[in-house]
Structure 1
Amino acid sequence: MSKAKTAGKAKVETITQVVPAVPLDIKITQWIAMLSATVSFTLLAYYLRLYPVLLYGWYINEFDPYIRLFMTEQMLKYGTIKGLLWWLHKGYGTLFMHFWYPWGANWTIILSPGVSWLGVLAYKILSHFGFDLLQSVILLPAIANAAVVPAMFYLGYRLGGKYVGLLAALWSVFTTMFLQRGTAGWFAAEPLFQFIATLGIAFYIESLTRKDNYWILFAVLSAIFNGITTWVWGSYVFLWNFYGLFTIVILLYLLIKIARRQSLPFTIDKLVITYVLTDLGFSAFVAITPRYGFHTLVSGMGGVANAALLFSIIAYALIKLYPRYPRIMVPVVRYFLMAIVVLVAAVIGLSFTSVGGKFLGALLPLARSAIVQSVAEHSPSTLQQGVYNISITVPFVIYTILLSIMSLSLPAILVSLGSLAAAYFASSEVWLFMLLGLFWVPATAYGFVKLTELALNRRILVGLSIAALLGVVLAIALVVNIQPALLMSIMPQQIVSTVTPPIPTPDWLDALQWLSYNTPPNATVLSWWDYGYWIAIIGNRTSLADNSTVNSTQIALIGSFFMSSPYNYTGVLEKLNELHDPQYILIFEPYTVFPVNLTSYGLGTVCVLIPEYPAGGDFAKSYWMARIAGYTNNYILNTFISPAQVGSSTIYVPFANNTFYAAYNVTLYDLMFNSEVTDASYIVWSTCTVNGIPTYWVFEGVPTIMPSVNATSFKLTYIGLPDYNGPVTPWYYLLQPPPWAQLVYVSRPYGWVIIYKINYSVLEALARNQTLTR
């Protein structure tokens, strides 16, 4: 009987070792199908991302891409390679005087070269097909973001096979984490970063999983592609530190195993060498970039990353020595583990003292400055935004995390840990969902495929039922993502729709063209910093501040000017002198005109002008102007924008004094809400003036631009719209602009962009008289 058992066991072993080979024609058919699907997904992604151009024309989107275009033009003057060298040599000290009057700006030390240099390369290629520079940089983000699809297939394939790759590629077509800044015209960091970083992560995983000697080649490719991200987007610091975190977690696990005298489950040569090369790739690109330089390697988040590198090298040495000297290494490792806790805490604490701005704000939300808080993309994520971005894919990611822990698969641990870390930052700041997609998409695909495989290994009926249920959940998740994705793909570019909801209008284009043709070439324009790039690059006039926000003192001075009294002439002159006497003031304030029949109130028909409907103008931003200028929240509430009760509705008026002249005594509001502006507005004239209808500003159910109770969100909400029927209290009679401000332009057709010329001779005379009468 024992012989029979032995023979049976041998027979079973023989059978299990025989794995039928997949015929070559079937393999070829499978890969043709996969390739066809991936190409189809890529073309669909490109079509979606190209749609804004098809609908609205060849416009660059948002604000930041304009400075990228400007610097692409500067690099092209030198050529592809010499242009890059010019940048890396700090532009040979070039100051561009159209920015940050009167100091100018050297953009080669403020920005990284990657986006503009890739714009040069895109133009060099696309010009052969008849595209000019503007069209080339408009197409580049759509092309790069569509290229994320095949890159994500490769990442998913190396993570868990071809089905994981195919699902990750499909998800990449529609996920808002990629699409929100991946459409044509977004000539900025994010769409380019997402493509390059996806390849960097894929090469990193390839290096860890390959069994042959070619793994070192992929480690080098990981170093190059991850290093290039430093030239594209400042969020490279997340990747840089994340690879260190991933390596530390694995090494700590092995060190704990040693401290407990347990055997090690795997070798770490490829893990450590790949990490060291990748860290060196980051460090090399950081060191040669003027924006960062060598000091970044030992300060801020760079210091944390390189502290992680030092820890990894020491831990690697301890682990490699353990098999040779087990009795000595066990106590050494135990002391090392105790010391490392203290040292890491100290390094992180010291490094945070040199971390500022957006990086510190992402790590510690309570540490955000007023300027960072004032930008909508830096606000904490809401539940709705979470659903839009990750849909109902959380169970799949959770399963991926569980599998990574149970299997100790390094690729699975990498995407799991990346998903957790990026999810924290995405919850902290909504714009970092674009970072989360790099890990969440492959983690979702991996979890779904592995759950499906687990289900199909059960009894046929049960397995098929569970697999079908999983498919339904995935389909629902995809559909939930498709709707906001399609809405994003048809959004007009911001230069033709600078409001929410987006309403296409040529107001800004009209205003910037007027500025460039009707003001002196050396004219300086005072505006809120949001519009600085447009003024300097499209309008070709000198701005005082722009979206780089490199000079917070200048921005605070501008905020203080706008929120000061226009009739304290001495104070106005002093503030303008501090700003080096700008010549023009530009204001943006969207509003809607409603003819309302108020016969029942004994007033007949009047035209009601409702500011911030649609939203996005300087009235809504005035709260942050005051905050950045240094005013406390209580002072703002009691002085500039105070809540008051009228009937059952809460209103927010632009001044604490709830009277007919509530807007009086704040420079910004007087420049917005006055009769000269409305008289010059085509939409008001055609709707109201030509019909002899009186016009009033009404702030009934006014925009709630104050913080919510927990000070984490801001709304723009109205009561009684769109069928506004009263009550109409309080009224705001149309004021006159201050005597020192000469209205010279109101945009067509809506009148949302307003430009004044500052009359210094009048202002100086008024200031002298005011001083004498005191």
Structure 2
Amino acid sequence: MISNKTLLSVGKFDLKLQHLLVIGILSLSFSISFLVRSQAADYGWELNEFDPFFNYRATQYIVDNGITAYFDWNDDHSWYPHGRDISQTSQVALHMIAAYTYWIFGGGMDLYDFTILFPVIFGSLSVIVIFALVRVIGGTTAGLFSALFFSVSLPIILRGTIGWFKSEPLGLFLGILATYFFLSGINSKNKKISIIKLIIAGITVPLAISAWGGSQFFIIPLGVFFLTLPFLRSDHKFIIWAIPLFTSVVIITSLAFERVTTFIFGLGGIVLIFPTIFLIVCIFIQHKSSEIKKTRNGLLFLAIILIFIMFIFIINSSTHFLPLPSFRYLNAIYPLLTTTNPLTDSVSEHATTNIQQSFFFHSILMIFAALGIWLLLRNNQIKNSIYLKNDMISFSLIIGLFGIYISSAFIRLELFASLSLIILSSLGLSLLVKEIFNSTERKNFKNSLFKYSFLLGIIILLLIPLSFPTNSNWITLAKTPPTILNGGSIYHVSTNDWTESMDWIKNNTPKDAVIASWWDYGYWISTLGERATINDNSTLVDHIIKNVAQMFSSSPEDGWKMLQDMQADYIVVFVSGERLNIDYNEQPLYILQGGGDESKKSWFMHIAGVPLAQYLESDGITGTNYFWNNTLLGKMFPFTVIGYLNLQTNQESETYQPGFIPIYVKDIKYPSDSNGPLKLVHASPSFNGEKGQPLIGVFVYQVNKDFVSLK
């Protein structure tokens, strides 16, 4: 074939046309991934979302103070006055790798700019490691398909756009890399190479988990895969030391990370350690059994082990002798598990995925993945099919099915469904394409036309989700403003409200000032405002967040007392909405329901544990008169309801009716010269915006220490 033509020879290596093809497709995949992930830069050059600001500050701490100081760091800007043990509660590997790569490749670049690019680079480099992983499983063609699919996968891209300096891009990169080294290690014919690869894999797994807790996902299919190896592999003398070597390196490396150690020596570690023990004992049993009975005896032992593990889980549910992971990890393992904790429910990325979302995220990949499963199961029966080892088929099915299963828990875990579908789809398409193009039928024009028409049809099918619908396809939906520029509101705008307000706090409040707010904004305040916060996005202490919610829900006098107990000097609220194109008696009119605290207040009430009907109307969103007149949060919103409007019928009402929305005018209840519990000392620019403009309103109140309650 022309693809095997040698272009250049260097020593024993021959550069062939197929090598250039591989390099070209990988370069194309990297470029596509980089460009799609970078679209948000059109709105502004900023970190995106909330956690990246803390990760940037933690990385900056390493760059300024060194690794040793980082491991001794108790952050007094978090969870005031308790502080936060950073190395015990953070993504240590993310911070360390970011700092080291900055030292090596930063080249004088500002660290903030470097961390904005960091997720795009590692996310795009992941196309290469997914190629390497799938290539080990099913060959080069399958690997190239996987790289292309990975480069445009919406769930994966959404968790790794420019500025997304969070855990997922690096964690996913390391998790795939670890899986590649493991599979490559157990497939290598050179035992010395196998040892090196298995050790690298064992080191990379804890790094992946330390960078992102979600990388624990890779442990599950590996553990289940271990259970199958005594039945699928005949080289028992090799795997009886190779698998324990990998597991031992994982455990030893985990000791270097406080968070990972808890996982390895808890229920999570059972998924890896027990299958390793099973593998050793099962091979010993099979070795002692006759040829006829060795499979039966192995399966009986497997059944006993599974029953034993179930027994441990049942006992642990009441005794807790093994530490349990947090609810979100338990929910990922058992998606039907429900929570009564409104704090967990209030996080948007913890929402359960529905059928419509899953189909939109994966669409055509679902079809090709189903095809892949079918072809894998009958691979050995297909004439002229590419040969896949039984253990690689087993691993593909295990990781595929587990990824789909786990992704049903949270919408943020859809990237695992995407990863699984990419692997299965790539293998399925590779098998199908090779079956058609390797057909032994007589080559003629009609046969060639069919083959290339088939290939064109596949390309068209894959292009559909990339192009349609025009304004909400896989490409366009990856372009959203950095959260700091629109406050996470529903408006796709770029404003300086939050950055300007954080600058104001930094330059106009005492350096030892303590700022209260809803936990969403804690990282922004501590990083950009450089002030201590009561709570933040790590959500480490539930009762403090509940206390803040109760403060907002309390009367102004009681809320002020709670702020005093918290030792807060200032308090921040965020209001999002839109100024209408008409005024009323020369007063601007507003609709407030854009994703700020005015939209989150129902969760404040849930978490505070107060009766919702007292605070909210029947729609669960609109505040009651009691909310506006008798809560600190209601008084902090510098607006007052003047009436209600039905947008469908244009009917007006002085009181709330179902189907009507409130219309607001400005009304600052606590001005800067107020004698009340608070004083409004700063309002962000869009509070005075033009007609028809979105409101991204950040309001900073000073706690009036001299306030005297009338109660």
TM-score, normalising length from structure 1? 0.79
Q: 1:404 to 1:318 in 2, by over 3 A?
A: farther
Whether the aligned pair in 2 keeps the contact of 1:216 and 1:274 (CA below 8 Å) is yes
2:354 corresponds to: 382
Q: 1:370 to 1:464 in 2, by over 3 A?
A: farther
1:344 deviation in Å?
1.7
Whether the aligned pair in 1 keeps the contact of 2:286 and 2:295 (CA below 8 Å) is no
Deviation per CA, 1:677-722, whole angstroms, max 9, x where unpaired?
A: xxxxxxxxxxxxxxxxxxx565646xxxxxxxxxxxxxxxxx44xx
1:245 corresponds to: 224
2:699 corresponds to: 754
> SS of the residue aligned with 1:492?
coil
1:28 matched to 2:16? The reply is yes
Alignment map for 1:459-538 (pairs within 5 Å)? 465=450, 468-469=453-454, 471-481=456-466, 484-498=473-487, 499-538=489-528
1:338 deviation in Å?
4.3
Q: Which amino acid aligns with 2:146?
A: A
Whether the aligned pair in 1 keeps the contact of 2:4 and 2:17 (CA below 8 Å) is no
Q: Which amino acid aligns with 2:156?
A: F
Q: Which amino acid aligns with 2:421?
A: W
> SS of the residue aligned with 1:752?
strand
Query: What is the CA–CA distance in structure 2 between the aligned matches of 1:174 and 1:330, rounded to whole Å?
Result: 43
2:569 corresponds to: 583
Whether the aligned pair in 1 keeps the contact of 2:210 and 2:260 (CA below 8 Å) is no
Query: What is the CA–CA distance in structure 2 between the aligned matches of 1:754 and 1:585, rounded to whole Å?
Result: 8
Deviation per CA, 1:286-315, whole angstroms, max 9, x where unpaired?
A: 22212243x543323223432333223322
Q: Which amino acid aligns with 2:652?
A: P
Whether the aligned pair in 2 keeps the contact of 1:662 and 1:732 (CA below 8 Å) is no
Q: 1:617 to 1:310 in 2, by over 3 A?
A: same
Query: What is the CA–CA distance in structure 2 between the aligned matches of 1:313 and 1:623, rounded to whole Å?
Result: 54
Unaligned runs of 5+ in 1: 1-18, 255-263, 598-602, 645-650, 676-695, 702-718
Query: What is the CA–CA distance in structure 1 between the aligned matches of 2:357 and 2:169, rounded to whole Å?
Result: 19
1:420 corresponds to: 401
Within the candidate set 522, 533, 536, 1:546 is matched to 536
1:643 matched to 2:624? The reply is no
Larger radius of gyration: 1
Q: 1:607 to 1:135 in 2, by over 3 A?
A: closer
Query: What is the CA–CA distance in structure 2 between the aligned matches of 1:524 and 1:733, rounded to whole Å?
Result: 31
1:301 corresponds to: 268
Deviation per CA, 1:217-250, whole angstroms, max 9, x where unpaired?
A: 3222322322321221001221122210122244
Same amino acid, percent of matched pairs: 22
Alignment map for 1:73-152 (pairs within 5 Å)? 73-79=60-66, 83=67, 85-87=68-70, 91-92=71-72, 94-128=73-107, 130-152=108-130
Deviation per CA, 1:20-74, whole angstroms, max 9, x where unpaired?
A: 9955459701111221221232233223333433x24431111111111111122
1:398 deviation in Å?
2.0
Query: What is the CA–CA distance in structure 2 between the aligned matches of 1:733 and 1:500, rounded to whole Å?
Result: 18
Q: 1:22 to 1:179 in 2, by over 3 A?
A: closer
Deviation per CA, 1:226-278, whole angstroms, max 9, x where unpaired?
A: 23212210012211222101222444xx3xxxxxxxxx774445555444333
1:591 deviation in Å?
1.1
Alignment map for 1:340-739 (pairs within 5 Å)? 340-350=305-315, 354-365=324-335, 366-368=337-339, 369-406=341-378, 407=380, 409-456=390-437, 457=439, 465=450, 468-469=453-454, 471-481=456-466, 484-498=473-487, 499-566=489-556, 569=557, 571-578=558-565, 580-596=566-582, 607-612=588-593, 615-631=594-610, 635-636=611-612, 638-643=613-618, 652-655=621-624, 663-674=628-639, 696=641, 700=645, 719-720=647-648, 725-730=650-655, 737=669, 739=676
1:617 deviation in Å?
0.8
TM-score, normalising length from structure 2? 0.85
Within the candidate set 175, 197, 211, 1:232 is matched to 211
Query: What is the CA–CA distance in structure 1 between the aligned matches of 2:303 and 2:176, rounded to whole Å?
Result: 36
Query: What is the CA–CA distance in structure 2 between the aligned matches of 1:281 and 1:399, rounded to whole Å?
Result: 37
Q: 1:519 to 1:289 in 2, by over 3 A?
A: same
1:743 corresponds to: 680
Query: What is the CA–CA distance in structure 1 between the aligned matches of 2:123 and 2:434, rounded to whole Å?
Result: 31
1:59 matched to 2:59? The reply is no
1:525 deviation in Å?
0.9
Deviates more, 1:284-293 or 1:65-74: 284-293
1:388 deviation in Å?
3.4
Unaligned runs of 5+ in 2: 8-13, 381-388, 656-661, 671-675, 687-694
Whether the aligned pair in 2 keeps the contact of 1:455 and 1:467 (CA below 8 Å) is no
Query: What is the CA–CA distance in structure 2 between the aligned matches of 1:576 and 1:164, rounded to whole Å?
Result: 59
Whether the aligned pair in 2 keeps the contact of 1:380 and 1:430 (CA below 8 Å) is yes
Aligned residues: 659
> SS of the residue aligned with 1:755?
strand
Query: What is the CA–CA distance in structure 2 between the aligned matches of 1:540 and 1:77, rounded to whole Å?
Result: 16
Q: 1:573 to 1:401 in 2, by over 3 A?
A: same
Query: What is the CA–CA distance in structure 1 between the aligned matches of 2:376 and 2:88, rounded to whole Å?
Result: 42
Q: Which amino acid aligns with 1:35?
A: I
